[in-house]
A and B are shown apart, each in its own frame.
Chain A
Amino acid sequence: MQKPFYVRFLLVATFLLGFTAFAQDEDASSGNEQGSVKAEIKEFIAHHLLDSHDFTLFTIDEEKNTHFGFPLPVIIWDDGLKVFMSSKFDHGQSVAEVDGNYYALYHGKIVKTDAQGTINYDEEGHATNAKPLDFSITKNVVFIIAVSLLMIFMFRKMAKSYSGSMLPKGIGRGLEPIILYIRDDIAIPNIGEKHYKKYMGYLLTVFFFIWIINLLGLSPLGVNVTNNIAVTLCLALFTYFITAFTANKNYWKHIFWMPDVPVFMKIVLAPIELLGTFIKPFSLMIRLYANITAGHLILMSILGMMFIFKTWIGSSMSFVLASALSFLELLVAALQAYIFTMLSALYFGMAVEEHDDH
């Protein structure tokens, strides 16, 4: 079951959707055709949603294992730092040998194996091979770096365009209203006139980072960084620690020793309030992750239906649906960035609020 190259290329060129970065497993050669297509699509989506050790734009020929892309450096810690290029894995087809140790890719993760690349399973079907600490520059890391550089370049240019004139030039014209919106409608109302300044850097950075990286996830490059729980966890932890470190006495007092309630209630409320402080960043993390993952999942499932229905009516239906959903995802990309920034600002506001009325 192999689709010709031009079909895939057409797909990419037509929809400009995140549909391209993949390296499929070989499992579709047997069984009935409909079932194998479904399995292939499922596998494809699962792979798309995962991080990858090499930068593959599209696969030209599955059987010959030819991919259009380039390898990325792999950095692992396994009794010493080991650095090699991911081309050694040959897209999961071969075992990489470094300093006498053998490593293989198993579902996108690097595992330690023997020379034949055998994977041992426990009774639940999980691989029991040792997993070395993986600090590889994966595709997502490349994109985080790219977005960071883009942001630095963009905003530095914008900052420079202010010198000598009161109004920004070029790209700053469009970005300034967004910055003003974040300041006037997110930071100041939620944090307050007095304290908002020290949080502006974080709020602006996070907003633009999430927004740009979400938008890039919708591009044909097909890298969705924010559907990695590690990334959203990192962002949420930042919000949590900034809240915790900048919080004033009142904030902690309201958590551990709620004023104006009986002593018994104080004891009951303290753990609940403390748990609440963890739940807030946790929900931030899950929300961003789940929204982006769900969006990509649905979008790709709808696209995948084209290959299942194989009739002009089914394909055009999924085309229309996918187009509509893409616009929705564009909105979601901005909305999630907005909500993350907004809620972060809200939590910061709680941390610096002064309860004079108690």
Chain B
Amino acid sequence: MEKLIEQFSFGLFFWQLLLLVILLLVLRKVAWRPILNAIEARESGIKDALEAAENAKKEMQNVTADSERLLQEARMERDGMIKEAREMKEKIVADAKALAQVEAENMISQAKTAIEGEKKAAVAEIKDQVATLSLEIAEKVIKGQISDSGKQLKLVEEMVGDIKLN
């Protein structure tokens, strides 16, 4: 211990103190502050960049999701439109069919009534003609067979029977 105290050099202590203070102040100003600031700036820069990248990634995901959703919507809309169109088409077709049916039925019934009318008219005409014919025949028969009265009666009866058949 005495050796240590004996060895202690006050001059060296003084110089060391002075130089260390100067060194501390100078280095603080010219070195440590700029170096540490630069390192810190770099670190925060890296951190910011990482965060920005993360954000961009999220945004990207959002955008993708959005476009996906839009696409989905468009698809659904298209499907809806197609469906609607199909329905409309079917309805139109069905309507047209129903209309045609009704028209056809109308036409048929008209035709039927017309036919019926024609038929009645035809029958009436035929009856007229038959009556005329039968009158002519009767005339002829009467002219030809007037001698035989039995035969005349029989003929008239036959003719009347024929008319009934119609």
Contact = CB atoms under 8 A, between A and B. Distances in A.
Interface of A: 50-51, 75, 109, 133-138, 140-141, 144-145, 148, 151-152, 155-156, 158-160, 162-163, 166-168, 172, 176, 179-180, 183, 197, 200-202, 204-205, 209, 228-231, 233-235, 238
Given A141-B15, A234-B17, A152 B35 contact: no
B23 A152 contact: yes
A134 B10 contact: yes
A136 B11 CA distance: 7
Given A176-B35, A233-B13, 15 more contacts: A134-B9, A144-B19, A148-B19, A152-B26, A155-B30, A155-B31, A158-B35, A162-B38, A166-B45, A167-B42, A172-B35, A179-B36, A180-B39, A229-B4, A229-B8
Contact of B28 (A163, A183, A201): A201
A195 to B, nearest CB: 15
B20 A230 contact: no
A162 B35 contact: yes
B13 A230 contact: yes
Interface string B15-41: 111011011101110111111101100
Given A229-B4, A234-B16, A151 B27 contact: yes
Nearest to A133: B10
B48 to A, nearest CB: 13
A155 B13 contact: no
A144 to B, nearest CB: 5
A148 B23 contact: yes
Determine which residue in B32, B35, B36, B39 has the highest number of CB atoms from chain A within 10 A of its CB, and name it. Answer: B35
Nearest to A139: B12
Q: What's the dominant secondary structure at chain B's contact region? A: helix
Given A155-B30, A156-B30, A179-B39, A138 B12 contact: yes
A197 B35 CA distance: 13
B35 A144 contact: no
Contacts of A167: 42
Contacts of B28: 201, 205
Given A156-B30, A162-B35, A205 B12 contact: no
A151 B23 contact: yes
B7 A205 contact: no
Interface of B: 4, 7-17, 19-20, 22-24, 26-28, 30-36, 38-39, 42, 45
Contacts of B27: 151-152, 155, 201, 204-205
Contacts, number: 116
Nearest to B46: A166
Contacts of B34: 159-160, 162
Nearest to A166: B42
Contacts of A228: 7, 9, 12
Given A209-B20, A209-B23, A238-B20, A230 B30 contact: no
A6 to B, nearest CB: 34
B12 A141 contact: yes
A179 B9 contact: no
Given A145-B19, A151-B23, A238-B20, A51 B36 contact: no
10 smallest beta-carbon distances between A and B, as pairs: A155-B31, A162-B38, A230-B13, A159-B34, A230-B12, A201-B28, A234-B16, A134-B11, A135-B11, A141-B15
B86 to A, nearest CB: 65
Nearest to B23: A148
Contact of B10 (A140, A160, A166, A230): A230
Nearest to A148: B23
Contacts of A141: 11-12, 15-16, 19
A183 B15 CA distance: 29
A151 B36 CA distance: 16
Contacts of A231: 12-13, 16
